Amino acid sequence: MLPVTWDTVRLSLHVLGATIWVGGQITLLYLLSTVRELDAGAPAVVARRFNQIAWAGFALLLVTGVWHLLVIGVGDRTTAYHVTLVIKLLVVAASGCGVAVHIIGRSKVALAIGGALGLLGALAALFFGVLLHG
Ligand code: HEM
């Protein structure tokens, strides 16, 4: 078997965080209409429950993301890598802020724009993450 290294642990935890934050949003969105058919108040209860695991996934991404930056020698990377990293961190911030606006927002506009930014930012972060890993 190939040797298991700290890189294996670091990337596995980062990808686990991404599966929860990105995959969780997609799954919740897909199930929402069915949950609403069960009980008009159920989506809010389910969403509040989802928030707990979702933010835990986001926190795991932040911690392992910083771990990445500490061990991959960012200073020795190319300008193209730095540009990609900055774009990635911007879409990560957009995703986190979008979901926060979606949770605290009371207007339909805040819910819609926040939710869309949260998911699109998460998908973009995933894409740029794979691009960074090369
Ligand atoms: C929504 C949040 C995030 C998502 C969905 C995400 C997703 C990913 C994915 C899927 C990879 C590729 C892993 C692989 O190819 O094995 C990756 C790599 C990476 N991510 Fe993230 N990430 C997020 C947040 C962050 C944050 C906050 C940071 C920095 C503080 C970060 C820094 C990196 C770096 C440097 C790599 C390349 C790691 C390497 O080459 O070893 N990510 N990310």
pTM: 0.92
Query: In the prediction, which pLDDT does 106 show?
Result: 85
Locate 93 and state its tokens. Answer: 């911030």
**Alpha-carbon dihedral sign for residues 44, 19, 30, 110:** positive
Residue 56 Cβ contacting ligand 1 at under 6 Å: no
Q: Whose CA is nearest to atom 18 of ligand 1?
A: 129
Please give the distance, rounded to the nearest whole angstrom, from the Cα atom of residue 29 to the centre of ligand 1.
Answer: 23
Q: Report how far apart, in Å, the C-alpha atoms of 60 and of each of 15, 16, 70, 121 are.
A: 9, 8, 15, 17
CB contact at 8 A, 60 and 17: yes
Domain boundaries, the chain: 6-133
Q: Answer yes or no: is the C-beta of 128 below 6 A from any ligand 1 atom.
A: no
pLDDT tens sequence across 119-132: 999 999 999 999 99
Q: Is the CB of 64 under 6 A from ligand 1?
A: no
pLDDT tens for 49-80 read 999 999 999 999 999 999 999 999 899 999 99
